[in-house]
Amino acid sequence: MRPLNVLSAVAGCALALALAPKSLHAQAPEGHGIAGFWSMAPGPMPPRREPTPVEAELIASFPEGAVLLADAGAIEFPPGEYGGLDVHASLRDAAKSYDPENQTDAFLTCRPPGLIYSMQGPFPIEIFEGRDLIVIKLEYFDLVRVIFMNETEHPDDWPLSQTGHSFGRWEGDTLVVDTAKLMPGTLFNNGVDYTENVRLRERFRLADPNTLVVTQEFEDPGSFTGTAARIMSFRRGDDHVYPYDCDPTYGIAIESRQGRE
Amino acid sequence: MAWISKLSLVLLLAGGAAFAHHSAPVFYKVDERITISGTVTEFRFTNPHAILKLEVESEDGEKQQWTAETTSPSVLRRRGWSQASFQPGEKVKLEGMPSIDGSFLIRITRAFREDGTEIGVPPGTDN
């Protein structure tokens, strides 16, 4: 039951942070300005539009040859589209038998699609900044991330989970987060998954006090060659992330639709 | 409950694991729009997507039971929707994406009451 214990600890930690904002500020009186509620900015993201100066600077920091994926935000790739990423042929072939109806199966409908895909989806996040921890609550499927600011490596015995193990550091005004120990999750929600060996590197930088730019870079030799990247902009809002509390009977309602062949 | 584990395993091995993002492009013609009008029979305002059931009478008088899907109530609440947005027996008009498989399924993009009043705020993005 160790994974459950860890998840419980993570959830408890997030709850404690959420309920004690004063002590948070006491721990980090300066902060870096990223705490708060953030919604995905509407409209397309690069490369579907020209990047802003801050976005361009972050894109320039991607490793040479990185593939900037054009599915950040509300955009979704259809089956068979991988955004120019060199996905292994065996996985492309396997994806041909992927049945998207499984997404509404009552057993699986509340299973999160994986952290990497979830972070770029059009749902809000809420960030709590402490001294040793930064906690990110995703409204999507109630995911809670803990980023250890006082660690520099991933423990070998850390269990695989939806949110993995993350450590971070500030490089000037940019929060750089490295994540591993992720359970396999979907790359594009169309039948190809990354493996448990995927490594995710993210950068969080304020373009202005109300605009947060986030990038993803991830590598997974088990599912594709090279580096994949995304860039997203969030807008600050006066709100909070609320419980998602997924209802699995949603799948039954969709599956029982009339006129289905 | 070993059969559940076996079922899940089979699904997970079939061309990538089944993760639940409930993708619009695999169920709907996202670039097309249709309009339907009917009578609400049920409304479920729960995540991951709210569901509206309604009875629609076709041109030849056939009574069709439609399922209308929306985005997440978490998102809809910020657009002014609530569990009280639709009541059974109420007549509504829905605009949205038609299903790919031709079933009586629509992904709502806008919703209107019988008097033409729009329900909630139109989406800037659709989740």
Q: Predicted ipTM?
A: 0.72
Proportion of chain B above pLDDT 70, given as a percent = 79
pLDDT(B18) > 60: no
Task: List the one residue out of A29, A37, A252 whose CA is nearest residue A138.
Answer: A37
pLDDT(B11) > 80: no
In a domain, B15, yes or no: no
In a domain, B122, yes or no: no
The rounded mean pLDDT for chain B is 82
Q: How many domains, in total, are found in chain B? A: 1
pLDDT band at B5 (very low <50, low <70, confident <90, very high): very low
In a domain, A67, yes or no: yes
In a domain, B2, yes or no: no
In a domain, B48, yes or no: yes
The b-or-e profile of B30-61 (16+ CB within 10 A means b, else e) is beeeeebebbbeebbbbbbbbbbbbebeeeee
- State the CATH number of the domain containing residue B65: 2.40.50.140
Contacting A residues, span 190-249, partner chain B, CB-CB under 8 Å: 190-193, 239, 242, 244-247, 249
A147 or B21: whose pLDDT is higher?
A147
Strands B63-69 and B91-98: unpaired
pLDDT(B50) > 70: yes
> CA A261, CA A208: separation in Å to the nearest integer?
51
> Which residue in the block uniquely carries the two structure tokens 């801050």?
A54
Q: What is the DSSP secondary structure assignment for residue A198, as one 8-state letter?
A: -
Close Cβ partners of B34 (under 8 Å, ≥ 6 residues apart): B95, B96, B97, B98, B106
- How many residues would you count in chain A? 261
In a domain, B47, yes or no: yes
Enumerate the residues of chain A whose CB falls inside 8 A of the CB of residue B14: 97-99, 102
> CA A131, CA A16: separation in Å to the nearest integer?
14
Q: What is the mean pLDDT of residues B103-121?
A: 94
Contact B44 A253 (CB under 8 A): yes
SS3 content of chain A, % helix, strand, coil (to 5): 25, 30, 50
A109 touching B (Cβ < 8 Å): yes
Q: What is the DSSP secondary structure assignment for residue B99, as one 8-state letter?
A: B
Proportion of chain B above pLDDT 90, given as a percent = 61
**Residue among A99, A189, A192 minimizing CB distance to B21:** A189
Is-contact B98 B86, C-beta < 8 A?
A: no
pLDDT of res. A86:
97
pLDDT band at B24 (very low <50, low <70, confident <90, very high): confident
Q: What is the pLDDT of residues A61-84, one digit of tens each?
A: 999 999 999 999 888 888 889 999
Q: What is the pLDDT of residues B58-78, one digit of tens each?
A: 989 999 999 999 988 988 998
Residues of chain A with pLDDT under 70: 1-30, 260-261
pTM of the complete model = 0.81
In a domain, A69, yes or no: yes
pLDDT of res. B19:
58
Enumerate the residues of chain A whose CB falls inside 8 A of the CB of residue B103: 257-261
In a domain, A13, yes or no: no
Enumerate the residues of chain A whose CB falls inside 8 A of the CB of residue B67: 253-254, 256-258
pLDDT of res. A7:
46
pLDDT of res. B6:
36
B105 or A252: whose pLDDT is higher?
B105
Domain of residue A102: give its range: 41-121+149-255
Contacting B residues, span 31-70, partner chain A, CB-CB under 8 Å: 44, 46-49, 51, 53, 64-67, 69
**Residue among A73, A76, A108 minimizing CB distance to B18:** A108
Q: Measured between CA atoms, how close is A49 to chain B, in angstroms? A: 16
Q: Measured between CA atoms, how close is A132 to chain B, in angstroms? A: 30
In a domain, B75, yes or no: yes
In a domain, A111, yes or no: yes
